[in-house]
Structure 1
């Protein structure tokens, strides 16, 4: 499949052939597995002190006293150690040794990335994720390599407007809202939508220019993963590739 390469002014510069990775089979089940594996790999183990509530010399009084046979502190009748006692142990404490990581085979993970890359060409999937694609003529969007050296938010804003993706950035900005529940008191107060993903061959400053735009992520093509291409396990993210990134992508994730 041949696609246009756009300049930073939004004009057609040339035409290139997409590598075979963009024609990969669509496998949402594998994409979901790869994303969950990536997310669970970051889970930090935590648990309770194994001796919590057990540091006591309490002993049971035995039977025949008309009281429950629970351990009681030495100089009193207050129960200790047992789960229902004040200051006692937990019945089923969280254990730090529990493994939360959902593993995935290497070949499956690579297949999932290839499938997620191919999903970026499907306009129906991209719109289903909620992206705004009104002024966009083709997917994926291929842009000249000069964008990798842009370092200011003003320049990137103009480029995104020329490419027709700035409406999607505005949508991502407007989607910011306060999280429901206790999470807003635990360092994750806001929920924000995902905007365009920019895949480059080399980052010569574009991450500085794009970081102030809502929902925009920048990644080098070697570091591409399923979670960036399918946030929340939903494939079809609006993606912008540089010409060199597309050429290099053909030999990756095989």
Structure 2
């Protein structure tokens, strides 16, 4: 999208700047490639013509199966004799000159409905892309010598009727290299003047950035032509900068310190465990008193007793048995 306030207007004779005009608001629309591709695909389907194969294709012959017992497939075969066609398989989709599997029908869903707002937003995105130089050059247009994009010429361009005059004008404004490029492209030359904007022309094959040359009156009429403008929900898409900004940080509460980390224990529900524990306590099966921690002296005494017990066991094993 382009946010310049003004665009230069060039003379149709010598290509010099003769004035300026305001940039239409449509050129500030966001570039929605996904929307343009979807709308272009559906709109291009609306120009298709229904086609189908004949219902009798592959079945315009007399054939029947020979049955079993011949060590041959039971597919229907052409009757008669004296010709190569006799005895050949017919009707099946795997046969030569046979029927088609799932033949095409004219009642296919050929057309697609495109929402009006969707088409308008896609058109606005395609128009905005025509004013972005990198996007225009990405399509292969040679605009190195072009003075400005979008290129606006005075209304004298609308009076051109001869092809040679149009070629001279394009060479004057700096599109000589573009003419050499399109001269290599095979195709029939057609009049490119349009009275209505079409997404299929502004974004060929669903690609943004087609090179456009505007007349001054047509360029100024864009604001009246496109009433609904797509707007962004976020004016600033940098979320990290928004979060770290001073107003947002001032509105946030300070983080808590020293809070224990919550741990989740797997197993039975706490309510079930509490019920079992209370029932066992009521029956006296578990001790309700909490054992006190042992002191250091008690721990040393227990350790000495354990060592003495172990020593006595070893001595008893190592002594000779009584005779």
TM-score (norm 1): 0.75
Contact 2:126-2:208 at 8 Å conserved across structures? yes
Q: CA deviation at 1:15?
A: 1.4
Q: 1:56/1:154 Cα in 2 relative to 1: closer, same or farther (>3 Å)?
A: closer
Contact 1:112-1:226 at 8 Å conserved across structures? yes
Q: Match of 1:3, SS? A: strand
The more displaced of 54-63 and 2-11 is 54-63
- Written as runs of structure 1 = structure 2, the 5 A alignment for 1:27-66 is 27-64=32-69, 66=71
Q: Match of 2:193, SS? A: strand
Structure 2 residue runs without a partner (length 5+): 82-86, 229-323
Contact 1:33-1:104 at 8 Å conserved across structures? no
Which one scores higher on RCO, CA 8 angstroms, separation ≥ 6?
Answer: 1
Q: CA deviation at 1:24?
A: 0.8
User: Which residue of structure 1 lines up, in the alignment, with residue 150 of structure 2?
Assistant: 140
The more displaced of 131-140 and 74-83 is 74-83
User: Which residue of structure 2 lines up, in the alignment, with residue 206 of structure 1?
Assistant: none
Distance 1:13 1:28 in 2: 35
User: Which residue of structure 1 lines up, in the alignment, with residue 303 of structure 2?
Assistant: none
Distance 2:124 2:175 in 1: 23
Q: CA deviation at 1:158?
A: 2.3
Distance 2:132 2:96 in 1: 59
User: Which residue of structure 2 lines up, in the alignment, with residue 245 of structure 1?
Assistant: 218
Q: Match of 1:219, SS? A: coil
Q: CA deviation at 1:63?
A: 4.1
Distance 1:154 1:64 in 2: 79
The more displaced of 107-116 and 6-15 is 6-15
TM-score (norm 2): 0.60
Contact 1:36-1:102 at 8 Å conserved across structures? no
User: Which residue of structure 1 lines up, in the alignment, with residue 10 of structure 2?
Assistant: 6
Q: 1:141/1:88 Cα in 2 relative to 1: closer, same or farther (>3 Å)?
A: same
Larger of the two Rg values belongs to structure: 2
Q: 1:239/1:87 Cα in 2 relative to 1: closer, same or farther (>3 Å)?
A: closer
Contact 1:34-1:227 at 8 Å conserved across structures? no
User: Which residue of structure 2 lines up, in the alignment, with residue 230 of structure 1?
Assistant: 203
- Confirm or deny that 1:128 pairs with 2:126: no
Contact 2:77-2:89 at 8 Å conserved across structures? yes
- Confirm or deny that 1:94 pairs with 2:104: yes
Distance 1:6 1:231 in 2: 27
Q: 1:18/1:94 Cα in 2 relative to 1: closer, same or farther (>3 Å)?
A: same
Q: CA deviation at 1:75?
A: 4.2
Q: CA deviation at 1:94?
A: 3.2
Q: How many residues align?
A: 217
Structure 1 residue runs without a partner (length 5+): 177-189, 193-210
Q: CA deviation at 1:108?
A: 0.7
Backbone CA RMSD of aligned residues? 2.4
Q: CA deviation at 1:129?
A: 1.1
The more displaced of 73-82 and 128-137 is 73-82
User: Which residue of structure 2 lines up, in the alignment, with residue 69 of structure 1?
Assistant: 74
Match of 1:22 among 27, 35, 39: 27
